């Protein structure tokens, strides 16, 4: 109960600060004595500090409380196929230092060592003593049981049931939290980005793969075993192209970066596109120049993507849908086709409820999202952190 009260108070100060103790008590429903005792602890630990007195309606002005951004530090790591990206953040998820390291040894043990080295490097770059590190968050692709800290299945490395949390914790001597990378991105949006104040929203990422993060009624949904959100593996066409997961016709097999590049170079071999396409920026540029083959590929992919998103909207009825990932560079041909398909295939009433946003992209977002795993543990009541069926 004390842990719950502590989180409630911290979150109240984070959301509403600078705020007086009396107002924290009123908004949280806790007694003034409880608020006073717990805020004293938080001040002593450096998470909260007292600001200048607020306005007074008579009598002594109240002392206001605010989160101390430098009261502790977090490292967020995104583990990718060939490297790890890391960021050192403060308690407001502001990135203070960033670094990345190559992943030469693709074994689980090799990856753990790289992440441990990355934590040490970031603390050194930020001149942060290890005792000020409150935790490490790791985001990675695959099916992740975040409660147990276990990577159940990795699509890129072929790992099964790897206890990432415990292995990394033994190296860094600090709490470690892991989750699917799209979930970490969704957490960052919920706490610090476009998901703030929105009770029902979805994030869809597109790039190397396609992922989904789900927030319903203000709470995060991971599913029974951490596998919720494998949107990229809904089957669009059972006779379609082979997907990395071993099935045919998954959404990823039509709209992911590798799929689009494969389509572009198949078109080049049939002279529908006049040149080899080396990356998605080049394909998008050709489409914007009106190259018919490139336009056809991105228009078809955007339509398939939009139709699939319409299914999500019909199921979840989100108030906001955020689209991000490396695939935001696909350009206007792709996204105009996507928007048209969403409107066509979404139930009219639900389409009217929807606010669609395409978010700017950068690798730092992944690491900042991973850092949010730790910040969630700090700010959110334990009874609200997971929703399971």
What digits encode the pLDDT tens for the residues 192-244?
Answer: 788 888 999 999 999 989 999 999 998 888 888 778 889 999 999 999 999 98
| Residue 186 contacts residue 213 (beta carbons within 8 Å) | yes
Predicted confidence (pLDDT) at residue 389 exceeds the cutoff of 60: no
Q: What CA–CA distance (Å, rounded) separates 100 from 85?
A: 4
CA 316, 311, 233, 108 torsion-angle sign? negative
Model's pTM, two decimal places?
Answer: 0.81
Neighbours of 56 (CB within 10 A): 9
Structure token digits, residue 219? 């709470």
Verify that 52 and 106 share a domain, yes or no.
no
The residue among 52, 67, 82 that closes a domain is 67
Torsion of CA 23, 24, 26, 28, to 10 degrees: 160
Q: Which residue has the tokens 């540029």?
A: 285
**Average pLDDT value for the chain:** 88
- Specify whether 81 is located in the same domain as 202: no
Mean pLDDT of 66-89: 92
Q: What is the CATH number of the domain that holds 48?
A: 1.10.10.10
Same domain for 224 and 247?
A: yes
SS3 assignment, position 36? helix
Read off the pLDDT of each residue in 349-373 and give the average, rounded to a whole number.
84
Higher model confidence: residue 199 or residue 16? 199
- Edge to edge, what strands does the sheet with 160-162 contain? 143-145, 150-153, 160-162
Do residues 50 and 151 both lie within one domain? no
Give the pLDDT band (50/70/90) at residue 379: confident
Residue 25 structure tokens:
């008590």
CATH number, position 215: 3.30.420.40
The yes-or-no verdict on residue 343 having pLDDT over 90 is: yes
Tell me the Cα Rg of the chain: 23
Domain that holds residue 158: 73-188+365-384
Q: Look at residue 161 and tell me if it is in a domain.
A: yes
**What percent of the chain lies above the pLDDT cut of 70?**
94
Give residue 60's pLDDT.
67
Asked whether residue 118 is assigned to any structural domain, the reply reads yes
Count: domains in the chain: 3
- The pLDDT of 142-170, averaged and rounded, is 92
pLDDT at residue 302 is higher than 50 = yes
In a domain, 257, yes or no: yes
Instruction: Give the closest residue to 375 by CA, choosing from 125, 177, 199, 212.
Output: 177
pLDDT at residue 381, rounded to an integer: 53
Residue that is written with structure tokens 């990378």 in the block? 181
Are 286 and 231 within one domain? yes
The answer on 173 and 114 residing in a single domain is yes
Say if residue 169 is in the same domain as residue 240.
no
CB 123 within 8 A of CB 75: yes
Would the pLDDT of 57 be above 60? no
- Looking at the structure, do residues 131 and 207 belong to the same domain, yes or no? no
Q: How far is CA 92 from CA 14, 140, 354, 373, 385, in A?
A: 9, 22, 28, 12, 18
pLDDT of residue 385: 47
Pair (172, 212) in one structural domain: no
Does 352 lie in the same domain as 369? no
Distance CA 244, CA 233 (A): 10
Q: Check whether 251 has a pLDDT greater than 80.
A: yes
Residue 242 lies in a domain: yes
389 in a structural domain: no
- pLDDT, tens only, 105-129: 999 999 999 999 999 999 999 999 9
The answer as to whether 321 is a domain residue is yes
Residue 153 and residue 220 in one domain: no
Checking if the pLDDT of 382 tops 60, the result is no
Residue 11: band (very low, low, confident or very high) from pLDDT cuts 50, 70, 90: confident
Contact 136, 168 (CB under 8 A): yes
pLDDT of residue 335: 96
Give one DSSP letter per residue of 258-298, joined into a string. HHHHHHHHHHHHTTSSSS---SHHHHHHHHHTT-HHHHHHH
pLDDT at 71 over 60: yes
* pLDDT for 250: 96
Residues 6+ apart with CB under 8 A from 51: 18, 63, 64, 65, 66
- Both 203 and 348 in one domain: the answer is yes
* Residue for token pair 């990229």: 232
Within-domain flag for 159: yes
Residue 60 lies in a domain: yes
Q: Which of 23, 52, 67 is the last residue of a domain?
A: 67
pLDDT over 90 (residue 58): no
Domain's final residue, options 47, 67, 87: 67
Q: What is the pLDDT of residue 51?
A: 81
Burial class (CB in 10 A: 0-12, 13-18, 19+), 60: exposed
């Amino acid at each position: 109960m004390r842990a719950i009260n502590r989180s409630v108070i911290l979150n109240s100060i984070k959301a509403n600060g600078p705020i007086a103790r009396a107002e924290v008590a009123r908004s949280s429903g806790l007694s003034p004595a409880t608020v006073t005792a717990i805020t004293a602890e938080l001040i002593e630990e450096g998470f909260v500090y007292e600001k200048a007195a607020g306005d007074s309606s008579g009598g002594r002005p109240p002392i206001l409380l605010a989160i101390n951004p430098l009261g502790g530090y977090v490292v967020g790591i995104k583990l990718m196929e060939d490297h790890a990206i890391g960021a050192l953040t403060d308690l407001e998820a502001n990135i203070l230092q960033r670094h990345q390291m190559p992943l030469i040894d693709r074994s689980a043990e090799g990856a753990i060592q790289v992440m441990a080295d990355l934590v040490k490097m970031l603390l050194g770059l930020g001149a942060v003593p290890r005792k000020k590190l409150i935790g490490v968050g790791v985001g990675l692709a695959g099916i992740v049981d975040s409660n147990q800290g276990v990577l159940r299945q990795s699509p890129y490395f072929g790992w099964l049931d790897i206890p990432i949390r415990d292995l990394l914790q033994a190296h860094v001597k600090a709490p470690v939290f892991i989750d699917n990378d799209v979930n970490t991105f969704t957490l960052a949006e919920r706490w610090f980005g476009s998901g703030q104040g929105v009770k029902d929203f979805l994030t869809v990422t597109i790039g190397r793969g396609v992922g989904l993060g789900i927030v319903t009624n203000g709470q995060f949904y991971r599913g029974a075993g951490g596998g919720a959100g494998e949107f990229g593996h809904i089957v669009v066409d059972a006779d379609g192209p082979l997907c990395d997961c071993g099935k045919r016709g998954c959404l990823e097999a039509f709209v992911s970066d590798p799929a689009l590049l494969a389509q572009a170079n198949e078109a080049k071999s049939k002279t529908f596109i006049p040149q080899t396409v080396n990356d998605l920026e080049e394909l998008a540029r050709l489409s914007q120049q009106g190259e018919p083959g490139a336009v056809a590929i991105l228009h078809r992919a955007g339509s398939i993507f939009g139709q699939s998103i319409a299914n999500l909207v019909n199921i979840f009825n989100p108030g906001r849908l955020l689209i991000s990932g490396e695939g935001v560079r696909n350009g206007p041909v792709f996204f105009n086709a996507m928007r048209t398909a969403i409107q066509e295939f979404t139930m009219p009433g639900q389409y009217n409820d929807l606010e669609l946003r395409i978010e700017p992209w950068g690798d730092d977002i992944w690491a900042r999202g991973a850092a949010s795993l730790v910040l969630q543990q700090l700010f959110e009541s334990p009874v609200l952190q997971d929703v399971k069926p």
